[in-house]
Amino acid sequence: MTETVPQGLCRDFDRLPAVTLLRRLAEKPFDLTAPSALTVERLTTYRCHAAGFDLLYATQRIDERVLDALQALADEGRAIGQFLLMQQGAVLNRIEGFAGENRQVLHTACRDLFAEAPLAPETTAQAQAELVKLRAFLAELESGALTNAAGKPFADLVQIGIGGSDLGPRALSLALAAFAKPGRRVHCLSNVDPDDAAAVLKGLDLSRTLVNVVSKSGTTLETLTNEELARRAFAAAGLAPERHFLAVTGQGSPMDNSARYLRSFYMFDSIGGRYSATSMVGAVMLGFALGYEQVIELLRGAHAMDLAAAEPEIRRNPALLSALIGIWNRNFLGCESVAVLPYSQALVRFTAHLQQLDMESNGKSITRAGRDLAWQSGPVVWGEPGTNGQHAFFQFLHQGTAIVPVEFIGFRESQYGAELLLQGTTSQEKLVANLLAQMLALATGQPHANPNQRFAGNRPSSLLIADRLTPYAMGALLAFYEAKVVFQGFLWNINSFDQEGVQLGKKLANGFLAHFAAQRENFLYNGSEADPRGWALLEAAGLRAKRR
Amino acid sequence: MTETVPQGLCRDFDRLPAVTLLRRLAEKPFDLTAPSALTVERLTTYRCHAAGFDLLYATQRIDERVLDALQALADEGRAIGQFLLMQQGAVLNRIEGFAGENRQVLHTACRDLFAEAPLAPETTAQAQAELVKLRAFLAELESGALTNAAGKPFADLVQIGIGGSDLGPRALSLALAAFAKPGRRVHCLSNVDPDDAAAVLKGLDLSRTLVNVVSKSGTTLETLTNEELARRAFAAAGLAPERHFLAVTGQGSPMDNSARYLRSFYMFDSIGGRYSATSMVGAVMLGFALGYEQVIELLRGAHAMDLAAAEPEIRRNPALLSALIGIWNRNFLGCESVAVLPYSQALVRFTAHLQQLDMESNGKSITRAGRDLAWQSGPVVWGEPGTNGQHAFFQFLHQGTAIVPVEFIGFRESQYGAELLLQGTTSQEKLVANLLAQMLALATGQPHANPNQRFAGNRPSSLLIADRLTPYAMGALLAFYEAKVVFQGFLWNINSFDQEGVQLGKKLANGFLAHFAAQRENFLYNGSEADPRGWALLEAAGLRAKRR
């Protein structure tokens, strides 16, 4: 059953009364450098909790009036109403009056397994059916019922995918490597760069390797290219690819072919690539690496955050509050980028996933009615793990001429528990001491007689902190950012679920590919007739000459 | 011999006459979307060459008048004069009239080995002496004269360092992995995160592993913590650390101790961390991985770009021109960040190195005379390899509300040469076809009746392209960005060589560490007396309770 979206839900951002109020409040934002700004009361009150995470936001440039206005913004923009409609299957991936994808947005249904009455029962049942297939497959691997031709167990899995079929699963598998089953390793192959494929395949015993090819359409050029490279490597090693290759694809796609794949798992049109980490796109790889139970833990964490995100009171909803603070910093304080800085090396690729999730979703210039935006949409998202960043770009955060709000992520305990007491503290204590110190330093600044040792302060940040980076916490963190991004899109009145902006590059790339192919086939080919601009660019780049 | 800096060299940016002219020209920048904007002539003329790289800049919003004004800016700001003084040993790392590092800036001297008369002969001689030590050490490893206690050759090397002792060497060793000697692998350990150390050490045969500890002061907390973790792991495996551990450090530092290290290599005060990749900081690790000759190739490429960067005519100096175009985009067109997008998976960590190089150098708010800047300094630098980025944040680059200039990096040939012809083209052709297509798409845009398929265009980019990512090309690319960053710093009249902005965080971190240590020692400790704000933050973050 497909809900339609009530017209009143899609209101233009600059028509919301709270926007006028917020503009006025932004003329004099809260001063974090004032001597009594960071009181004990503020630090312990400006905090909310959900699904194992605490969000600390006392070091943002907000006060009660701003929070009240942000609550009004969320209410007027119907943030929660739209979120619930999304979860129930409303067709939110659309631009009113123009051709587009016209799809539901049901990534939350993948983990709505623990509720008595799922919000989108049909999609949740489909997700459940795929999980049953996955559990059976993993059990066969575990019991030895499924082995390679020589009767040996599979030790490695290479995921071939790009974009959402790569970034989320890659970030999650790195984040949870501490929980991997002994003897199991996973790898990712995404870039069409031939050096990437060569480097990934180089060190593997292919006879004990599974390859998981992920493409919803079954036609993604980069993915098919890498799959073909991998299939030839298997064939060259005397191995039958159909005994090693798995497919995660749309039902009925060219890749849905049991003659070519050992197993197929399905993905659905209602789940966009960048929101698909908790579907089979991530679950097959994570299940191989961590086992089925840990996949369920991940889904359980994501579901807990989904539930918390439906809370209308912003002071009790970390994802919604974080979305609103992001809007405050972007649209009212004028900050063009946001740095996400996890104090956890395991989250080394999580920011790369967030870049897609956030920037592909909210890097838009038209409303859901097809009109040009008169306000800013999503920011640049970037970051690296602390403490490394402290020895890299933190100089810029503290003393650069641009203000970049920071979202810190931290954990009270380490994953491995391999602690070393040195100079009276553990490594994990050093990590969190640095994290808290950076929050304070950015906020308060420091006056000094030497101008080079002066810190202006008033640089906003938040902290999201949990006990330990487990599969459950990873699921909650992932869902936190998914919810944050869609809340911002709802309020900016943009479609956070399509990506028409990638099409022009694809089209022009096909033109250059036609050039290269024609050059190879026909020595006399002169593409300058067809597209003088492209031809000149090839010439300028030294790429026009016939390649061997 | 130390040169002093003539006063006239440090001129304020907004006092340069060219700045006024550029402001006027920026009111109507070149329109890349005009039908005849990208002519064959423009595309093939707006190109310059140095050290194996072509810089293509026709897709920037500049014309002859802007180029002439940028030439005037470079001349008025004495960009080349300062660059030469730097290479000769002028004390450029200073703030006039205030306490500071007061050091020379001589990273180029590390590779000024191929000239008959080096510009800073003393430092070049020191660098040469370290290379002689390195060559001898590598030859001993090669010949089998130096082995582990069991007589077996070393197979792995773990570099322990952080910031400049990590990012540059890590980026370079990943970039050049295709050239690694068989059987040699290198790893990096930087983060104080205990999970990082556990993950790196997990898979190694320590008996055949060297550890290279890099810290100029010999007192970097993160590095010493990780070294101690590693030493305990060796001791626990019954191995004598002094037979496995190398040191790269300042002469006379606490780490300059032959009883604890198998070999020591020296680094010098005149070379800052983020500029140290071509010193022993990078050379020891790269020499182990690739062999001595490839290190010399890297230095040769860097030296060739250093020479090219001394050319005063901006249309013939890619590094200087790129610096000026960056200033055009930052200070005149108002772009707050720049994306560096290498179409090469091997350069996967090069942007992380650039983040430190650029943002730590030019994320500054005062002039070299200690006055507040009245103009913007360095931008946010971010990026990921293409084509992956196309499936992630390119939506934002094409259709977001913020304009982000792009610096593309590409290569005509792959490193491994493992090519697959699919649908008429090779993988490398697919890679460069996509790269060129993105440049065109960003520049020209596309009108369309469906607003969602409309591209505004006029989004500037450049391309730096070479034949193949070899050690020589890597050296040239590294030196290109080093020169670009210092040229921008010279023109903005900031000190690109210190990093006072990291000190406040360090100081506050020590406060939190004292809390943790005191909590462990004294059950009754109540730090709220000492620092109520820090204590409250610990409380709010759930970190106040005594940890096990």
What class does CATH assign to A120-300? alpha beta
Q: Are A124 and A37 in contact (CB under 8 A)?
A: no
Give the gap in angstroms from C-alpha B502 to the nearest C-alpha of chain A.
5
What CATH number has the domain spanning A7-90+309-498? 3.40.50.10490
In chain A, the percentage of residues whose pLDDT exceeds 90 is 86
All residues of chain B having their beta carbon less than 8 Å from the beta carbon of residue A193 are: 343-346, 385, 387, 414, 427-428, 431
Cβ of B285 under 8 Å from any chain A Cβ? no
- Mean pLDDT of chain B, nearest integer: 94
Q: With contacts defined as CB-CB under 8 Å, which chain A residues touch B388? A: 162-163, 166-167, 190-191
Q: So what's the pLDDT on residue B4?
A: 58
Q: Is B522's pLDDT higher than 80?
A: no
Tokens linked to B474:
């890597």
Q: And the tokens for A479?
A: 């869902």
- In the sheet that holds B47-50, the strands lie side by side as B47-50, B53-56, B461-466, B406-411, B337-342, B380-382
For residue B399, give the nearest of A344, A384, A501 by CB distance: A501
Between CA B494 and CA B498 the distance in angstroms is 10
Q: Which CATH fold would you assign to the domain B123-300?
A: Rossmann fold (3.40.50)
B392 CB near a chain A CB, below 8 Å?
yes
Are residues A324 and A70 in contact, defined by beta-carbon separation less than 8 angstroms? yes
Q: Is A356 on the interface with B (CB under 8 A)?
A: yes
Mean pLDDT of the A319-327 span: 98
The interface predicted TM-score (ipTM) is 0.96
The answer to whether B418 contacts A532, with C-beta atoms less than 8 Å apart, is no
Strand segments (E) across A241-347:
245-250, 263-267, 337-342
Contact B540, A462 (CB under 8 A): no
Angle at B406 between CA A347 and CA B14, to 5 degrees: 110
Q: How many CB atoms lie within 10 A of CB A6?
A: 12
Report pTM: 0.96
Q: What pLDDT score does A522 carry?
A: 77
Instruction: Give the pairing type, strands A406-411 and A337-342.
Output: parallel
Cα distance between residue B512 and residue A433, in whole Å: 5
Say whether pLDDT at A141 is over 60.
yes
Task: Decide if pLDDT at B187 tops 80.
Answer: yes
Tell me the chain B residues in contact with residue A535 when contact means C-beta distances shorter than 8 Å: 40
User: Which neighbouring-strand residues pair with B209?
Assistant: B156
Structural domain boundaries in chain A? 7-90+309-498, 120-300, 501-540
Strand-strand pairing, B380-382 and B337-342: parallel
Summarised one tens digit per residue, pLDDT across range A198-237 is 888 988 999 999 999 999 999 998 899 899 999 999 999 9
- Across the strands, what pairs with A341? A408
pLDDT given at position B17: 97
Mean of pLDDT values over B418-440: 89
Give the separation between CA B16 and CA A101, rounded to whole angstroms: 52
HEC string of A109-158 equals HHHCCCCCCCCCHHHHHHHHHHHHHHHHHHHHHHHCCCCCCCCCCCCEEE
Same fold, B7-90+329-497 and B123-300: yes
Query: For B346-387, how does the pLDDT look when each residue is reduced to its tens digit (9 = 90+)?
Result: 999 999 999 999 999 999 999 999 999 999 999 999 999 988
> Does the structure show a pLDDT above 70 at A5?
no
Residue in chain A closest to B531 (alpha carbons) equals A40
Rg over CA atoms, chain B:
25
Q: What is the pLDDT of residue B530?
A: 66
Beta strands A185-189 and A156-160, pairing class: parallel
How much is the average pLDDT of B40-64? 97
For chain B, helix (H) and strand (E) counts, in that order, are 18, 11
d(Cα B270, Cα B87) in Å, to the nearest integer? 11
Known catalytic residues of A? 360, 391, 506
- Report the b/e string of A210-228 with b at 16+ CB within 10 A: bbbbbbbebebbbbbbbbb
- Is residue A439 within 8 A of residue A493, CB to CB? The reply is no
Residue B547's pLDDT is 45
Q: What is the pLDDT of residue B2?
A: 47
CB within 8 Å: B420 and A229: yes
Please tell me which residue of chain B has the smallest CA distance to A369. Answer: B451
Does the distance separating the beta carbons of A439 and B400 come in below 8 Å?
no
Kindly report the nearest CA distance between residue B425 and chain A, in angstroms: 6
Candidate from B355, B371, B388 with C-beta closest to A392: B355
Q: Is it the case that residue A387 has pLDDT exceeding 70?
A: yes
pLDDT for res A9: 74
Local structure of B380: helix, strand or coil = strand
Is B100 touching A (CB cutoff 8 A)?
A: yes
Q: What is the mean pLDDT of residues A159-188?
A: 96
Give mean pLDDT, residues A260-272: 97
> Which tokens in the block code for residue B48?
């310059």
Q: CA–CA separation, A320 vs A325, rounded Å?
A: 9
CB neighbour list of residue A335: distance below 8 Å, 6 or more residues apart: A329, A379, A403, A404, A405
Q: Are A426 and B229 in contact (CB under 8 A)?
A: no
* Superfamily of chain region B7-90+329-497: Glucose-6-phosphate isomerase like protein; domain 1 (3.40.50.10490)
Q: Which amino acid is at B278?
A: T
Give B174: exposed, middle or buried? Use CB within 10 Å, 0-12, 13-18, 19+. Answer: middle
Q: What is the pLDDT of residues B5-18, one digit of tens each?
A: 666 678 999 999 99
Q: Alpha-carbon distance B338 to B361, whole Å?
A: 15
Give the 3-state secondary structure of A379-396: CEEECCCCCHHHHCCHHH
pLDDT in tens, B204-229: 999 999 999 999 999 998 899 899 99
Q: Which secondary-structure segment (H or E) carries A362?
A: helix A361-362
Residues of B in contact with A363 (CB under 8 A): 393, 395-401
Distance CA A41, CA A383 (A): 30
How far apart, in whole angstroms, are the C-alpha atoms of residue B526 and residue B511? Answer: 14
Beta-bridge partner residues of A267: A250
- Is B482 noted as a catalytic residue in this protein? no
Confidence tier at A386 by pLDDT (50, 70, 90): confident
Chain A partners of B395 at a C-beta cutoff of 8 Å? 359-360, 363-364, 499-502
- Confidence (pLDDT) at A427: 86
**Chain B residue numbers touching A39 (CB-CB < 8 A):** 536
Instruction: Say whether pLDDT at A415 is over 80.
Output: yes
A312 touching chain B per CB within 8 A? no
B378 touches B361 (CB < 8 A)? yes
C-alpha–C-alpha distance, residues A296 and A283, integer Å: 9
A85: helix, coil or strand? helix
**B101 tagged catalytic:** no
Strand (E) or helix (H) holding B215: strand B209-215
Which tokens sit at A330?
């972007």
**Look-up: residue for tokens 């602690």?**
A419
Q: What is the pLDDT of residues B232-244, one digit of tens each?
A: 999 999 999 999 9
Tell me the two tokens of residue B179. 């050239």
Does B232 contact A at CB distance below 8 Å? Answer: yes
So what's the pLDDT on residue A4? 58
Cβ-defined contact of A392 to B352 (cutoff 8 Å): yes
